[in-house]
């Protein structure tokens, strides 16, 4: 059981690290045409972009989102990845808690049998 407790403590430490940078949402990149009708993006050339947007479920339970300026792309992508890792670690902690509880129950049952 000590091994399980150490694993859980390590996973909880990782949750604390991830919590400092995590962001909720999902990212999408778009390419757009500009307002200049003579620009290459309206004919043969590539469109402008990528433009990063983050979508998430807002307080009203409706999906909402916002544009992310280029200077923040890396930080936002790191935060979204941290959120995904946080969820995975939280599931791991929950599973370890169940295993610890099962071990405690088995230990109690063994003690009862001895008496």
Each residue's pLDDT tens digit, 17-59 = 999 999 999 999 999 999 999 999 999 889 999 999 999 998 8
**pLDDT value at residue 80:** 97
**Sequence-ordered list of residues with C-beta below 8 angstroms from that of 19, at least 6 positions apart, any chain:** 86
- Stated pTM of the model: 0.76
How far apart are alpha carbons 53 and 28 in whole angstroms?
5
Cis-peptide into 94, omega within 30 deg: no
Predicted local confidence at residue 72, as pLDDT? 96
Instruction: Give the residue numbers spanning the domain of 27.
Output: 2-114
Counted domains in the chain: 1
């Amino acid at each position: 059981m000590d091994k399980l407790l150490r694993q859980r403590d390590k996973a909880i430490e990782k949750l604390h690290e991830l919590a400092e940078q995590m962001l909720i949402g999902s990212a999408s990149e778009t390419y757009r045409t500009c307002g200049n009708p003579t620009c290459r993006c309206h004919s043969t050339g590539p469109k402008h972009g990528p433009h990063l947007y983050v979508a998430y479920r807002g307080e009203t339970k409706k999906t909402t989102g916002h544009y992310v300026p280029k200077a923040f792309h890396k930080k936002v992508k790191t935060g979204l990845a941290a959120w995904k890792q946080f969820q995975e670690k939280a599931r791991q902690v929950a599973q370890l808690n169940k295993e610890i509880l099962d071990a405690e129950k088995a230990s109690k049952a063994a003690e009862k049998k001895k008496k």
